[in-house]
Amino acid sequence: MIWVKNKAVSLSSITLFALLSVLTSCKKKSNEPPQSSAKLHFKFRFDSTQVRLDNFGNPVGVASGNAAQNPAFNKMSAHYVEFAPNRYTQLGQGYIAYHAPETNAGGSTAIEFNKCRPVGNNEVFLSIPFKDIPKGTYQYLRVSLAYQNYDVKFKFGTNLYKGTVASFIGYNTYIQQYKVKDSTITINGNRLQGYWAFETFYNVIQGQAPNTTVVNPIASTSPIPPGSCVVTAAFAVPFTVTGNETSDKTIIVSLSTNKSFEWREVNFDNIWEPAIGENVVDMGIRGMVLEVQ
């Protein structure tokens, strides 16, 4: 019954059924389960105890006539992350999880440095929802590194000091301005892979390293373009995405900094002396190991 002007009025069973149908139809029905909010996080780790590798993933020492040291890392940034199903997956044909902004402001296509986000040791540099990753099994991860900032020891006169290096190891970078440690350098142009600046207590110098080691153990089946910094590593256990992930996971991208800062010796004392012409010859990362947590 309902009340109309203080009078009780009976509803027929048909009218009542119609009313209930209207009310229940307002509720949205869905047979699809709610999507998980689980995410996959990526963290950098800088490890000077990891094996020192060459471009093809083979253990290697410091070249004759050169010397090297383990830099103390402050920051690193990446501009490209890709999952590769197998060793025959060509660059760009896997799942591209991240591709940083690029620009033609400097003339040719380049990484837009001022939109990069450098992070420190054990800090997250990328997070992506699991639901965005295609289901499948991935044997390799590719990470293209763009910028690194670290402290190194050097000799000036008879004394030892510490200075800071800002190093651009991406294929090409458009830089408006950047800070090494305390000093800000304005460029407003492109710089090719290997450009660096070194800040000490008395000055800032800039240079161009002739080589940048880029480790790719599957170069014979899946090469990378010359001048890029796409570091490749295999998962210890192939990484599988089922589409049913309900909790977050983290991939630790552990980078070998084992004697990654290398120069040509003049004094042959294993101490970098830029003032006497000991020129930097390589500042590439010396390997990558993946750990899934």
pLDDT in tens, 191-248: 999 999 999 998 999 999 999 999 999 999 999 999 899 999 999 999 999 999 999 9
What's the CA angle centered on 283, arms 277 and 285, to 5 degrees? 165
Q: Give burial (CB, 10 Å; 0-12/13-18/19+) of 49.
A: exposed
Amino acid at 74: N
Instruction: Specify if 18 maps to a domain.
Output: no
Residue 8 domain-assigned?
no
Query: What is the pTM assigned to this prediction?
Result: 0.86
Across the beta sheet with 249-256, what order do the strands follow? 124-129, 39-47, 249-256, 288-292
* CA pair distance 184, 288, nearest whole angstrom: 31
The token pair that represents 249 in the structure block: 């996971």
Say if 190 falls within a structural domain: no
Tokens of 288: 């990558």
User: Is residue 56 a part of any domain in this protein?
Assistant: yes
Q: Is residue 165 part of a domain?
A: yes
Contact, 69 vs 84, CB < 8 A? no
Query: Is the pLDDT assigned to residue 81 strictly greater than 70?
Result: yes
- Full domain range(s) for residue 125: 37-98+118-169+198-292
Backbone angles phi, psi at 130, to 5 degrees: -60, -35
Q: Summarize pLDDT for 10-67 with one digit per residue, the tens.
A: 444 444 444 444 444 444 445 555 667 999 999 999 999 999 999 999 999 999 999 9
Average pLDDT value for residue range 106-114: 96
With contact defined as beta carbons under 8 Å apart, do 255 and 143 qualify? no
- Tokens matching residue 114: 């001022």
Secondary structure in 3-state letters for the chain: CEEECCEEECCCHHHHHHHHHHHHHCCCCCCCCCCCCCEEEEEEEEECCCCCECCCCCECCCCCCEEEECCEEEEEEEEEEEEECCCCCCCCCCEEEEECCEECCCCCCEEEHHHCCCECCCCEEEEEEHHHCCCEEEEEEEEEEEEEEEEEEEEECCEEEEEEEEEECCCEEEEEEEECCCCEEEEEEEEECCEEEEECCCCEEEEECCECCCCCCCCCCCCCCCCCCEEEEEEEEEEEECCCCCCCEEEEEEEECCCCEEEECCCCCCCCCHHHCCCEEECCCCCEEEEEC
Paired residues of 78 in beta bridges = 145
Quote the number of domains for the chain: 1
Closest CA to 165 of 102, 209, 213, 101: 209
User: Residue 250 falls within a domain, yes or no?
Assistant: yes
What are the pLDDT digits (tens) for 255-279? 999 999 999 999 999 999 999 999 9
Q: What percent of the chain has pLDDT over 90?
A: 86
Among 127, 123, 138, residue whose Cα is nearest residue 98: 127
Asked if residue 272 belongs to a domain, the reply is: yes
pLDDT computed for residue 23 by the predictor: 42
Residue 16 amino acid letter: L
Within a domain: residue 234? yes
Assess whether pLDDT exceeds 70 at residue 163: yes
